[in-house]
Amino acid sequence: MAVSELDPNQSLDAYWMPFSHNRYFKQDAAHRSNRMLAKAEGSYYWTTEGNRLYDALSGLWCCGLGHRHPRLVEAVKRQLDVLDYATAFQMGTPAVFHLAERIAEQAPAGFEHVFFCNSGSEAVDTALKMALAYHRARGEAHRTRFIGREKGYHGVGFGGISVGGMVANRKMFAAGMLQGVDHLPHTHNLKEMAFSRGEPQWGLHLVEELERLVALHDASTIAAVIVEPMQGSAGVIVPPAGYLKRLREICSKHGILLIFDEVITAFGRMGKPFAAQHYGVSPDLITFAKGVNNGLVPMGGVLATRNMYDTFMAGPAHLVEFFHGYTYSGHALAVAAAHATLDVLADEQIYPRVESLAGVLEECVHSLKGEANIVDIRNCQLAAAVELAPLDGKPGLRALRVFEEALKRGVLFRFTGDIIAMGPTFISSPDELAQMTDVLRQSIHAAG
């Protein structure tokens, strides 16, 4: 039976939905109205009820080229005719070596090596292990501490939630988290930053907290600092002007590795292949996933510098240098989709298109300023968020209501807490961004 033919009133209990209010979704058909998806194409989904939804978050920040791009679909179909799966342990395929080369060519200067995995969570855990092993290989095994940032999201592996700073993701799993992790303060300050366009001018001083943490723990114990250049999952929290450059300076001063988690920002969202290039800051490791192959097949990875890679390449050549990897690292279908994605990004001039759309999105979302119950509007290239005042004693309910009202009007937004997040597809038109904004305005009015 095709997915579109399934009765949404049946067979709901067996599926434990991720990051979802399972009881709310399953208990009432009205609560899941327009929330059962049947098909997708371009910038739109269609529900099992036959209604079209504009995808205002590119899937989950991953389908920037839209859904079912014909060149990507064809690439995966062709791959299935040749090779479905090949082990990556002690074996290789020409396509995966070529893909690593292509990604390295688009990366900031000095990044020459790519380690593939299957998700952002795996990429983060891989980068953390690389950082620990790198210091050990250099004779600094005492560098074991990681520093993340409050409100940071780095996936849901135990490493990721340890360096992450989202309370709801951490509180139930404290017993399993990494020891010796500290956090920088977040940069989300409504009093000083509300309604900033792009990078806020307030907040640079917050990065100096890293110097305090260095003094507290001693630099010789710290392996790495990990941050998202732009915090997407927490609701598009944009770094203050100069923040990332100063972070790089402090890390370099103390011999601490800097990891950029670019799972959301890499391959288009920032108008460049990587946010590191947008901000003019070069970290030591870069994680990526999502946009690398437009979400067709799970894929993630870590970019490393030549110095990092060469440090591991020691000892007898017949021995494994880094005891880490995954069954599906460099999966043949994921690699085929990634090659096609890189082709489309270049051939369809996607990066310049994102740069031009970024200004349109900024004007659209900031036109909402002054509407009732909006306490902040933020934007960063082709990402934006509208923060709503919570209902008394019911945090998150207002955003849920706005989300549901928007579905009635043909737009699928992302909500987290009382924040409505937007990450439109790169193929969106200015008119579609304007219509998306109008629906958000109407939905806020209707939600009350």
Residue range 304-353, pLDDT digits in tens: 999 999 999 999 999 999 999 999 999 999 999 999 999 999 999 999 99
Rg of the chain over all Cα atoms, to the nearest angstrom? 22
Give CA–CA dist 162/169, Å, rounded: 9
Residue 251, CA distances (Å) to 139, 149, 201, 220, 378 in order: 19, 14, 22, 12, 28
Find out whether 415 and 24 touch, Cβ atoms under 8 Å.
no
Q: Which tokens go with 269?
A: 């969202």
Single pTM value for the model: 0.96
Q: Which CATH superfamily is domain 3-62+349-447 in?
A: Aspartate Aminotransferase, domain 1 (3.90.1150.10)
Q: Confidence class of residue 2 from pLDDT cuts 50, 70 and 90?
A: very low
Position 5 scores a pLDDT of 55
Q: Which tokens go with 412?
A: 């699928």
Give CA–CA dist 200/206, Å, rounded: 12
Name the DSSP class of 400.
H
Position 11 scores a pLDDT of 79
Position 7 scores a pLDDT of 65
Mean pLDDT of all residues in 101-126:
98
Domains 3-62+349-447 and 74-347 are alike in CATH topology: no
Place of tokens 């010796």: 180
Burial of 14 (0-12, 13-18, 19+ CB in 10 A): exposed
Q: Which tokens go with 76?
A: 């995966």
pLDDT digits (tens, 9 = 90+) for 250-306: 999 999 999 999 999 999 999 999 999 999 999 999 999 999 999 999 999 999 999
Q: Which tokens go with 371?
A: 């509407």
**Fold assignment, 74-347:** Aspartate Aminotransferase; domain 2 (3.40.640)
Consecutive H or E run containing 435: helix 430-447
Find out whether 294 and 337 touch, Cβ atoms under 8 Å.
yes
* Secondary structure E strands in 136-221: 145-149, 181-184
pLDDT digits (tens, 9 = 90+) for 9-45: 577 999 999 999 999 999 988 999 999 999 999 999 9
Name the DSSP class of 375.
E
Find out whether 288 and 266 touch, Cβ atoms under 8 Å.
yes
Q: Confidence class of residue 3 from pLDDT cuts 50, 70 and 90?
A: very low
Find out whether 257 and 131 touch, Cβ atoms under 8 Å.
yes
Listed residue (45, 17, 47, 22) closest to 34, CA to CA: 47
**Domain residue extents for the chain:** 3-62+349-447, 74-347
Find out whether 426 and 357 touch, Cβ atoms under 8 Å.
yes
Q: Which tokens go with 159?
A: 């490493």
Mean pLDDT of all residues in 409-425:
97
Find out whether 119 and 300 touch, Cβ atoms under 8 Å.
yes
Position 10 scores a pLDDT of 73
Collapse the DSSP code of 135 into the 3-class scheme (helix H, G, I; strand E, B; otherwise coil) and give the result.
helix
Q: Which tokens go with 280?
A: 């003019």
Whole-number average pLDDT of the chain: 96
Q: In 195-322, where does DSSP find H-type helix?
A: 209-217, 243-254, 275-279, 306-312
Q: Which tokens go with 271?
A: 């108008």
Question: Over 60: is that where the pLDDT of 113 sits?
Answer: yes
Looking at residue 352, its amino acid is P
Listed residue (215, 160, 149, 221) closest to 184, CA to CA: 149
Find out whether 244 and 327 touch, Cβ atoms under 8 Å.
no
Q: Confidence class of residue 179 from pLDDT cuts 50, 70 and 90?
A: very high
